[in-house]
Structure 1
């Protein structure tokens, strides 16, 4: 009997990196909290791509992989003694802080990933595919749906019960201060701006740095240590 060779896809490669990261981190580590939910959703996306359920499979795969690589490279920068992007520094610096709740780490991870990584991933994907951002808008919307499912999973798995929320008013306030929908809209605008600036490297670099810093500032607010 001829045995079929198993093909490793680019999505498989980033999933493997996430699994290795999950296996190497303590469960309560702030990066581990985000990584677990992101891994579960990325595995689901991989299954959808394999089943042909995501329209343009090449475009969907390219954007999904470029997106995930931004997060993984930021985390691995610490191990390699490189400086990670400003948007990820709050999570990486406070990852073991006892006063920060798991839900805060997870939402701060989404903030960094969508607010900074996704805009740059759109530009990365456009360069790889030789297309304009508008041609990736459907794939961008699908990634947005992925993030909605990620946020829903986070809130379902990590949200305190109603009795605890009444006590944890500061946490309730923090959760209400950040909007995934507004972040998605801002990211699409940022991606288009970065693409328009690609022929002006100095301006593109300054725009990217300011975007990175602004997202990092929001992440630091989301990770404000809270009393028990």
Structure 2
């Protein structure tokens, strides 16, 4: 379905080009495709704001954006090569065509993984690459999260319109009500703070990252619980 990544992605424009190239390959009803289209919108929004003063440090934010996207694209490439994606991404890739799962569930499952797992690790990756303290990205971290929240609201409205017969059904309300973008963003920043303190304790750092991979995957899987008979 997808071609393997041949060249390293170094710029936001390259990220967008790669994502646009992948988009037509996702068939209708593919849960990964639902998330992919939403995330492409986020990335295009970030790119549009890099030159207008929205971000305090646009050069560093561009690096963060590339590393952030790279974690999702690595999961796409692993799946395309017949390898298992990281544990946090496996639910969405394994259940991408699961009957009874509403498209909004797929979008939120992907957001959960990308925000709670990939974003804090991308902040740490960016700090290491630029030789900076992760706290120096805090302002722009919250700004990129604001864009994620904006798109999440749009996606909820598009994928679960007022006319959707499932909109008020108890199973769907229960599943969707269990996840909050505000809580996900807060948890992700708490992870940044924890990993910052563990930078010089590699065994503990790796243990926390491994546990994060598994725990985020559990929530992402729960979000894909079928709600339709």
For the criterion TM > 0.5, the same-fold answer is yes
Indicate whether 1:177 and 2:178 are aligned. yes
* Alpha-carbon distance, 1:166 to partner: 5.6
Question: Residue 89 of structure 2 contacts residue 217 of structure 2 at CA under 8 Å; is this kept in 1?
Answer: yes
The count of corresponding residues between Structure 1 and Structure 2 is 221
Compare the two structures and name the one with the higher helix fraction.
1
Distance across 2 between alignment mates of 1:88 and 1:203: 23
Give the greater-gyration-radius structure (CA).
1
Provide closer, same or farther for how the CA distance between residues 163 and 83 of structure 1 changes in structure 2, counting only shifts above 3 A.
closer
Distance across 2 between alignment mates of 1:191 and 1:182: 14
Is the deviation greater in 80-89 or in 65-74?
80-89
Partner of 1:140: 141
Aligned residue runs from structure 1 range 109-148, under 5 A: 109-148=110-149
Distance across 1 between alignment mates of 2:73 and 2:124: 17
Aligned residue runs from structure 1 range 77-96, under 5 A: 77-96=78-97
Partner of 1:12: 13
Distance across 1 between alignment mates of 2:104 and 2:167: 16
Distance across 2 between alignment mates of 1:44 and 1:143: 9
Provide closer, same or farther for how the CA distance between residues 83 and 195 of structure 1 changes in structure 2, counting only shifts above 3 A.
farther
Distance across 2 between alignment mates of 1:118 and 1:9: 17
Distance across 2 between alignment mates of 1:116 and 1:34: 15
Question: Residue 161 of structure 2 contacts residue 167 of structure 2 at CA under 8 Å; is this kept in 1?
Answer: no
Gapped regions of structure 1 (runs ≥ 5)? 1-7
Distance across 1 between alignment mates of 2:124 and 2:196: 6
Question: Residue 160 of structure 2 contacts residue 167 of structure 2 at CA under 8 Å; is this kept in 1?
Answer: no
* Alpha-carbon distance, 1:81 to partner: 2.8
Q: Deviations over 1:47-100 (max 9, x none)?
A: 111334323111211111111111111121111233311111000000011211
Partner of 1:5: none
Indicate whether 1:100 and 2:104 are aligned. no
Distance across 1 between alignment mates of 2:166 and 2:98: 20
Is the deviation greater in 44-53 or in 88-97?
44-53
Partner of 1:22: 23
Aligned residue runs from structure 1 range 210-221, under 5 A: 210-221=211-222
Distance across 2 between alignment mates of 1:47 and 1:9: 17
